[in-house]
């Protein structure tokens, strides 16, 4: 199992990078669930995380900045039987790609989004991003960031996500279980992974001092109000599943043979392409 889903390509991340932990957790989850490489598609965005498609031995697509989620939605709708994983960064998902992420959550498309959240734009040498804490000095904020970071967990809960979790890249075993649970969840699932950038913003010590497991705290992931309260915690860092609820997935509703969408009804009655084009001549 140690070599499962390993392409044999040596990762090029910085020594100690949190991406190693995420990669190990995903490989372990896929192996323990008994999935085959041809049953899985990984879509990656732009950022340090994006190279994961070179190291994870499954079908893969490397999307442009902020567009990993809509690409993954298209894959899932084309073949709902596939397990579709999205690897995306905090800048990729919570900045340029934010609207795609929130609407995928609202629709409940059955993709599994793993956000590599290191709170800076690490690939471009550590500029401030949407989750950068106020006051942090970065390449783009040498006197300290004056912006308040937004709360991705709160935002995703408010957008209707049916599975919202937070993991920590240093705790590979716990993260692996979260990935397994996300894959088994019917519908949209997102895991905000605290993945420290050891080069530009190393938060490992800060996280370890404040992190606790939601399952150890008696948290009920079916309780939406409790999930909201956990997402608002500032001095402590909750890890685990904040919220999970079962609802029909978008692809089930859109591609149902019993209730097909209007565009797929009465296919035999549709005009041939040449006659359709002739209408516009």
The better pLDDT of the pair 186, 266 is held by 186
Question: Which CATH number goes with the domain that contains 70?
Answer: 3.40.50.970
How would you class 269 by CB atoms within 10 Å of its CB: exposed for 0-12, middle for 13-18, buried for 19 or more? exposed
Residues 6+ apart with CB under 8 A from 155: 102
Question: Is residue 254 in a domain?
Answer: no
pLDDT beyond 70 at 129: yes
Q: List phi, psi (to 5°) of 136.
A: -70, 130
Domain holding 152, by residue range, is: 19-249
| Residue 129 structure tokens | 């991003």
Non-local (6+) Cβ contacts of 233 within 8 A are: none
Q: Is residue 46 part of a domain?
A: yes
Name every residue whose Cβ is closer than 8 Å to that of residue 129 and which is 6 or more positions away in sequence: 90, 91, 94, 95, 119, 120, 121
| 120-121 and 189-194 strand pairing | unpaired
**Model confidence band, residue 281 (pLDDT cutoffs 50, 70, 90):** low
- For residue 281, is it within any domain? no
Q: In Å, how far from its chain's centre is CA 229?
A: 22
Question: Does the pLDDT of residue 258 top 90, yes or no?
Answer: no
Q: Is the confidence at residue 271, as pLDDT, over 80?
A: no
- Of the candidates 90, 85, 101, which has an alpha carbon nearest to the alpha carbon of residue 48? 90
Which 8-state DSSP code applies to residue 124? T
> What pLDDT digit, counting tens, does each position of 140-155 carry?
999 999 999 999 999 9
Confidence of residue 212 (pLDDT cuts 50, 70, 90): very high
Burial of 69 (0-12, 13-18, 19+ CB in 10 A): buried
Residue 10, in any domain of the structure:
no
Report how many domains make up the chain: 1
φ/ψ of 122, rounded to 5, equals -70, -40
Report yes or no on 136 lying in a domain. yes
Q: Please state, rounded to an integer, the average pLDDT across all residues of the chain.
A: 92
Asked, for residue 169, whether it belongs to a domain, the answer is yes
pLDDT digits (tens, 9 = 90+) for 158-193: 999 999 999 999 999 999 999 999 999 999 999 999
pLDDT digit string, tens, across residues 10-67:
999 999 999 999 999 999 999 999 999 999 999 999 999 999 999 999 999 999 999 9
Task: Decide if 57 is inside a domain.
Answer: yes
* Residue 84 within any structural domain of the chain: yes
* pLDDT value of residue 268: 45
Closest residue by Cα to residue 194 from 98, 105, 68, 90: 90
* 9 token code pair: 């390509």
For residue 226, pLDDT over 70 is answered with yes
């Amino acid at each position: 199992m140690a070599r499962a889903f390993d392409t044999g390509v040596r990762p090029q991340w910085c020594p100690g990078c949190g991406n190693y932990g995420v990669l190990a957790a995903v490989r372990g989850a896929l192996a323990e669930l008994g999935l085959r490489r041809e049953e899985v598609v990984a879509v990656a965005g732009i950022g340090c995380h994006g190279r994961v498609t070179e190291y994870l031995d499954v079908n893969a697509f490397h999307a442009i900045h902020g567009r990993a989620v809509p690409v993954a939605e298209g894959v899932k709708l084309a073949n709902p039987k596939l397990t579709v994983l999205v690897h995306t960064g905090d800048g990729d998902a919570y900045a340029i790609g934010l609207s795609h992420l929130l609407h995928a959550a609202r629709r409940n498309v059955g993709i599994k989004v793993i956000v590599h959240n290191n709170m800076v734009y690490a690939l471009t040498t550590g500029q401030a991003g949407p989750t950068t804490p106020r006051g942090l000095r970065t390449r783009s904020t040498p006197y300290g960031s004056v912006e308040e970071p937004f709360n991705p967990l709160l935002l995703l809960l408010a957008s209707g996500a049916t599975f919202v979790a937070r993991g920590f890249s240093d705790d590979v075993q716990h993260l692996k279980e979260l990935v397994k649970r996300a894959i088994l969840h019917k519908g949209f699932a997102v895991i905000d992974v605290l993945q420290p950038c050891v080069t530009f913003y190393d938060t490992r010590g800060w996280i370890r001092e404040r992190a606790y497991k939601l399952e150890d705290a008696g948290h009920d992931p079916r309780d939406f109000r409790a999930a909201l309260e956990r997402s608002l915690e500032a001095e402590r860092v909750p890890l685990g599943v904040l919220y999970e609820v079962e609802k029909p997935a978008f692809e089930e509703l859109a591609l149902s043979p019993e209730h097909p969408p209007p565009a797929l009804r009465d296919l035999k009655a549709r005009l041939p392409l040449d006659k359709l084009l002739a209408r516009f001549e």
